[in-house]
Amino acid sequence: MIPAAKSVPFRRLFALYQSLYLFPRHLHGVYLWGELEPEASAGADAAGVGKLPVVYAANHVSWWDGLVLFQLTERLTQSDPYILMDEKGLREYPFFRRLGAFSVNRDQPRDTLASLAYAETKLRAGHPLWIFPQGAITPPDRPIEALGGIGHLLRRLGPAELRPVALHYALGDHQKPAATVMAGEPIRRDWSALSRDEAAALVAGLLQRQLEVHRRELTDRPLPDGGRFRLALRGGRSTSDRYRGWKEGWRGWKPFSRS
């Protein structure tokens, strides 16, 4: 297992790099529906006493997912989260360690258990955890299936809060895709009452239903004019946007005429 090596200066510098260069260059914008850090929740247990561990579970459809969620977390929450990442990906992009990523090698059972134990330690210390239950980037039209790891972790935690997050990317009438993120209602329960497979299936079902609502909202009320999605992070203008702006400006221009 490769542990995280968080660096606050690097995290701030990377967030600045994303907002000023990476996102404007490649994304039209990031739109959010819901709250990543609900005020009413605050991690309280059912009796309102203490704090519950908070697990964010998101579907995984693109290389952009982790970057989008990192930027939203930096901008819109006060938390200090960690993220569980495949070992191969973390070795390829080691800078993610400085953002709070640690690895899991699912081909090695002992390594998987060590990673889940590490995750549990961070969660019980008050750090939220981001996890992609599918385990790898999966085509968006494929039904969501959660691996057993998240079920094992939730069972170990017992009382915990799950925050489901659905991601989808829409092109629309822009050259650059818009990233859309739907933060669902937190689920607070004692997960130890479920088996590992039952907990994983419950998470997969929540994400699947949420993603279907997410897509339906975008179909019924496309971006950027309507719907419940709001612009959370501004991206960059593409050639089509510049052409549209030039065309509208030309239409609004009226030459002087003699009277």
| pTM for the full predicted model | 0.87
In the chain, domain spans? 8-252
Question: Long-range contacts: 117-126, Cβ < 8 Å, 24+?
Answer: 118/1, 118/3, 119/82, 119/84, 119/153, 120/153, 120/156, 120/157, 122/82, 123/53, 123/54, 123/55, 123/157, 123/160, 124/53, 124/157, 126/51
Residue 8 in tokens: 């606050």
The CATH number of the structural domain formed by 8-252 is 3.40.1130.10
Q: pLDDT tens track of the chain, all 259 residues? A: 999 999 999 999 999 999 999 999 999 999 999 999 987 554 444 444 458 999 999 999 999 999 999 999 999 999 999 999 999 999 999 999 999 999 999 899 999 999 999 999 999 999 999 999 999 999 999 999 999 999 999 999 999 999 999 999 998 777 889 999 999 999 999 999 999 999 999 999 999 999 999 999 999 998 877 689 999 998 766 555 544 444 455 555 555 444 4
